[in-house]
């Protein structure tokens, strides 16, 4: 119970610090009387449409491709770094 009380009220701070570390942006907040909406923006390194088209093209050519081979073909890691 002490740990819970020690951390009470720091949720938004933790969200912001961790998101900034992960994505170098700050989340947006829409605070209403009875709710909060947190908006996480992603800064894409590459056009999402181009990546999607590349994935679909690769899968069309080889419908039995594995995730490992697909991620290798588009140049991303299939495993989380955490």
DSSP letter (8 states) at residue 40? -
Query: Band of the pLDDT at 81, cuts 50, 70, 90?
Result: very low
Residue with tokens 């449409």: 49
pLDDT score for 1: 47
- Type and span of the H or E element at 36: strand 36-39
Give the residue ranges of DSSP H helices in the chain: 2-7, 11-23, 48-61, 67-74
Predicted structure pTM score:
0.39
Segment 25-74, tens digit of pLDDT:
888 888 888 888 888 877 655 566 777 888 889 999 988 888 888 888 88
């Amino acid at each position: 119970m002490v740990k819970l009380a020690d951390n009470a009220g720091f949720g938004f701070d933790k969200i912001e610090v961790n998101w900034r570390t992960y994505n170098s942006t700050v989340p947006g907040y829409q605070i209403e009387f009875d709710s909060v909406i947190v908006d996480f923006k992603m800064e894409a390194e590459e056009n999402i449409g181009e990546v999607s088209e590349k994935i679909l093209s690769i899968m069309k050519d080889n419908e039995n491709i594995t995730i490992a081979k697909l991620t290798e073909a588009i140049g991303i890691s299939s495993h989380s770094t955490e």
